[in-house]
């Protein structure tokens, strides 16, 4: 009985090691873009403007102006805001056929509580809501924001 158990344990361990170490293909572009959005939200929640800027192209032109002007705009905004968490919701990704650019549309909720998902918020915990329309481009294998527009989210954007 012990031999059988030992064989099962060894076989299970080998199977797990093979599964963990097996090379995987590259993530699809939509998953990579959603990862960028999640990382930007996490960095913004930490008020890490430099971390947010890592996902912005040097050629950025949009809300706030250039990349450097955008970073100054975000710094000013974070210093006077009372939010604790940045939560993207209703994220829509539209990839161009050649997968070198994409359009992203989302609602971003600013929360007064350290919530993990927008669905977890109560109305009194929302400090603000914005509709963001952005364009991203693949630069050296990484997706970066090249332009973005922001407006206050309307009720229709939330539902």
Residue ranges of domains in the chain, CATH in brackets: 28-158 (3.10.450.50)
pLDDT at 22: 55
| Sign of the alpha-carbon torsion through 110, 55, 135, 148 | positive
User: What is the average per-residue pLDDT within 50-75?
Assistant: 94
**What are the structure tokens assigned to 155, written together?**
């009720």
The mean of the pLDDT values for the chain is 85
Band the pLDDT of 3: cuts 50, 70, 90: low
Pairing of strands 101-111, 85-95: antiparallel
CB of 30 closer than 8 Å to CB of 117: no
pTM of the model: 0.78
pLDDT at 102: 97
User: What is the average per-residue pLDDT within 114-133?
Assistant: 89
C-alpha–C-alpha distance, residues 38 and 120, integer Å: 16
pLDDT at 83: 85
**Span between the terminal Cα atoms of the chain, in Å:** 59
Beta-sheet strands, E only, within the chain: 85-95, 101-111, 126-139, 142-152
C-alpha–C-alpha distance, residues 62 and 147, integer Å: 5
């Amino acid at each position: 009985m012990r031999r059988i158990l030992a064989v099962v344990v060894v076989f299970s361990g080998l199977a797990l090691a093979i599964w963990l170490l097996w090379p995987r293909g590259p993530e699809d572009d939509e998953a990579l873009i959603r990862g960028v959005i999640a990382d930007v939200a996490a960095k913004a929640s930490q008020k890490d403007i430099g971390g947010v800027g890592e996902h912005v192209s040097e050629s950025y032109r949009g809300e706030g102006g250039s990349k450097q002007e955008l970073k100054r705009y975000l710094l000013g905004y974070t210093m006077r805001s009372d939010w604790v968490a940045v939560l993207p919701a209703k994220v829509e990704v539209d990839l161009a056929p050649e997968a070198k650019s994409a359009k992203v549309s989302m609602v971003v909720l600013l929360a007064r509580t350290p919530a993990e998902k927008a669905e977890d918020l109560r109305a009194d915990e929302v400090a603000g809501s914005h509709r963001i329309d952005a364009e991203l481009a693949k630069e050296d294998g990484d997706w970066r924001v090249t332009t973005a527009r922001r407006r206050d989210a309307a009720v229709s954007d939330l539902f």
